[in-house]
C-alpha cells in the first residue's frame, strides 16, 4: 500500500490534501457529508481581528475553467472564532487545524496570530499577506519584499507555532517575496493565492462583480501555480504548500513533483463538496500507476 503521509513544518499529516481557506468554512457543512478526519488537515476561513461583513453583492462570478470571487474576507472576527467556532470544530475534527489570518496593519496581524497561537487546536498559522497595507497607500503586503518580511518577523516574534506565509501571485517576482519571508524566519510558504481578474456583463455593459475585480481560481490557474511553486521550492529551504487549480490526484502528484510538501484544494470544493475525499481515495492508485511508493520521497521534477 503506498504511503500517503507527509510532514509539514514538523507535524505529520496522514496525507498531503488540505482544503484551502475560504472554501471549507470551519468544516461543519462538509462534516455532514463525510468524515473530514480523512483530510491531512484544513485551513479554516480567513480570520481578521475584527468582524467583517465582506464586499457587496454580487461577489462571485463564473469564468472559463474557474471562478472569480470578491468575498472580502467576511468572517466573525477572531474572538468569536475562538469562543464559538473552535469548540464546535473540536467535536468533528480531531487533528491540528490550520488557522488562516488576514490583517490590514502589522499590529492587526500580530494580535490575531497571537490569539490563535494560544489555541491548542491550531497547528499552523497561515498568514495571508495579500491584504492592503493601510499604512502604505493600500498596497498589498505581499507585493513588496520588505513589507512581507516585516509581517513575517512581527508574527514570528509573537507566536510559537509554525508560521506559513501565503503569497500572492500578483507580483513581478514571487521568488523575491518568498526569499524575503524565508530570511525573516517563516517556517513555510503557501502559494498561490488567486490571480486578479474581472468579467463584464454584455447586457448591462458593467462589471459582473460589485467590487469590479476579483480573484481567479480553478483549473485555469494550475499551470501558473505549478510554475511558481517550482521556482519558489528551488529558492528556499523551507516547506512549500502548493495550491491553485488542483482538482485531481494527478494534480497533487504533479504539484508535489514541482516541490510542494503538501497541497491545498480550493475552488474544487465549491464545485464538488466531495472533491478532497475523492482525491485522497484516488491517490494510492495514481501513485501505483507511476511507481511512487511514498509521497514523502517524491522527487522534484528536473
How crowded is the C-beta side of 265, counted as CA atoms within 13 Å? Answer: 31
Q: Minimal CA–CA distance to 104: which of 69, 142, 160? A: 142
Q: Which residues partner with 68 through β-bridges?
A: 61, 216
N-term to C-term CA, the chain: 26
Backbone torsion region of residue 86, taken as left when φ is above 0, otherwise alpha when ψ lies between -120 and 50, otherwise beta: alpha
Residue 102: which residues within 8 A CB-CB, separation 6 or more? 46, 47, 48, 73, 109, 112, 128, 130, 131
In this model, does residue 301 exceed pLDDT 80?
no
Tell me which DSSP letter residue 64 carries: T
Give the pLDDT confidence score for residue 299 in this predicted structure. 57
d(CA 194, CA 181): 19
Give the containing element (helix H, strand E) for 281.
helix 275-289
Q: Summarize the confidence of residues 63-74 as an average pLDDT.
A: 94
Give the pLDDT confidence score for residue 46 in this predicted structure. 96
In this model, does residue 300 exceed pLDDT 60?
no
Q: Across the chain, what does the average pLDDT equal? A: 95
Strand 214-217 versus strand 163-166 pairing type: unpaired
Strand 200-201 versus strand 97-101 pairing type: unpaired
Instruction: Read off the pTM.
Output: 0.96
Residue spans per domain, the chain: 6-55+73-197+217-297
Q: Percentage of the chain surpassing pLDDT 90?
A: 94
Give the pLDDT confidence score for residue 297 in this predicted structure. 86
d(CA 18, CA 78): 21
Q: How far is CA 163 from CA 62, 154, 233, 291, in A?
A: 33, 11, 17, 33
CB 72 within 8 A of CB 101: no
In this model, does residue 276 exceed pLDDT 90?
yes
Does the 6-55+73-197+217-297 domain belong in CATH 2.70.98.10?
no
Q: Summarize the confidence of residues 98-124 as an average pLDDT.
A: 97
pLDDT digits (tens, 9 = 90+) for 113-153: 999 999 999 999 999 998 765 566 556 899 999 999 999 99
Give the pLDDT confidence score for residue 134 in this predicted structure. 53
Catalytic residue among 9, 131, 147, 181: 131
Instruction: Choose between 266 and 133: higher pLDDT.
Output: 266
Give the pLDDT confidence score for residue 131 in this predicted structure. 74
pLDDT digits (tens, 9 = 90+) for 206-259: 999 999 999 999 999 999 999 999 999 999 999 999 999 999 999 999 999 999
Q: Among this protein's residues, is 181 annotated catalytic?
A: no
Give the pLDDT confidence score for residue 302 in this predicted structure. 42
pLDDT digits (tens, 9 = 90+) for 162-197: 999 999 999 999 999 999 999 999 999 999 999 999
Give the pLDDT confidence score for residue 77 in this predicted structure. 98
Give the pLDDT confidence score for residue 89 in this predicted structure. 97
| H helix intervals, 210-274 | 222-233, 249-257, 267-271
Map grid coordinates 475562538 to a residue.
Answer: 82
Map grid coordinates 467535536 to a residue.
Answer: 91
Cα 114 to the center of its chain, rounded Å = 19
Give the pLDDT confidence score for residue 135 in this predicted structure. 61
Amino acid at each position: 500500500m503506498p504511503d500517503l503521509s507527509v510532514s509539514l513544518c514538523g507535524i505529520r499529516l496522514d496525507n498531503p490534501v488540505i482544503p484551502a481557506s475560504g472554501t471549507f468554512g470551519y468544516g461543519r457543512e462538509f462534516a455532514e457529508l463525510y468524515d473530514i478526519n480523512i483530510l491531512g488537515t484544513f485551513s479554516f476561513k480567513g480570520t481578521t481581528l475584527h468582524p467583517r461583513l465582506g464586499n457587496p453583492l454580487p461577489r462571485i462570478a463564473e469564468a472559463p475553467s474557474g471562478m472569480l470571487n470578491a468575498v472580502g474576507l467576511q468572517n466573525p472576527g477572531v474572538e468569536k472564532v475562538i469562543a464559538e467556532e473552535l469548540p464546535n470544530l473540536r467535536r468533528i475534527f480531531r487533528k491540528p487545524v490550520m488557522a488562516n489570518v488576514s490583517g490590514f496593519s502589522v499590529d492587526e496581524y500580530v494580535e490575531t496570530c497571537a490569539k490563535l497561537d494560544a489555541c491548542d487546536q491550531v497547528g499552523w498559522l497561515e498568514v495571508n499577506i495579500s491584504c492592503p497595507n493601510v499604512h502604505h497607500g493600500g498596497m498589498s503586503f505581499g507585493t513588496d519584499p520588505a513589507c512581507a518580511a516585516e509581517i513575517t518577523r512581527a508574527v514570528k516574534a509573537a507566536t510559537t507555532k509554525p508560521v506559513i506565509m501565503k503569497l500572492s501571485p500578483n507580483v513581478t517576482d514571487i521568488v523575491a517575496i518568498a526569499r524575503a519571508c524565508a530570511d525573516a524566519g517563516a517556517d513555510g510558504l503557501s502559494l498561490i493565492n488567486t490571480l486578479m481578474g474581472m468579467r463584464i456583463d454584455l447586457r448591462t455593459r458593467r462589471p459582473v462583480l460589485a467590487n469590479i475585480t476579483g480573484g481567479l481560481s480553478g483549473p485555469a490557474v494550475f499551470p501558473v501555480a505549478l510554475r511558481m511553486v517550482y521556482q519558489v521550492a528551488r529558492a528556499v529551504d523551507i516547506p512549500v504548500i502548493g495550491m491553485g487549480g488542483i482538482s485531481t490526484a494527478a494534480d497533487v502528484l504533479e504539484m508535489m513533483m514541482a516541490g510542494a510538501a503538501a497541497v491545498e484544494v480550493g475552488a474544487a470544493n465549491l464545485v464538488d463538496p466531495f472533491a478532497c475525499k475523492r482525491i485522497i481515495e484516488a491517490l494510492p492508485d495514481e501513485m501505483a500507476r507511476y511507481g511512487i511508493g511514498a509521497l514523502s520521497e517524491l522527487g522534484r521534477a528536473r
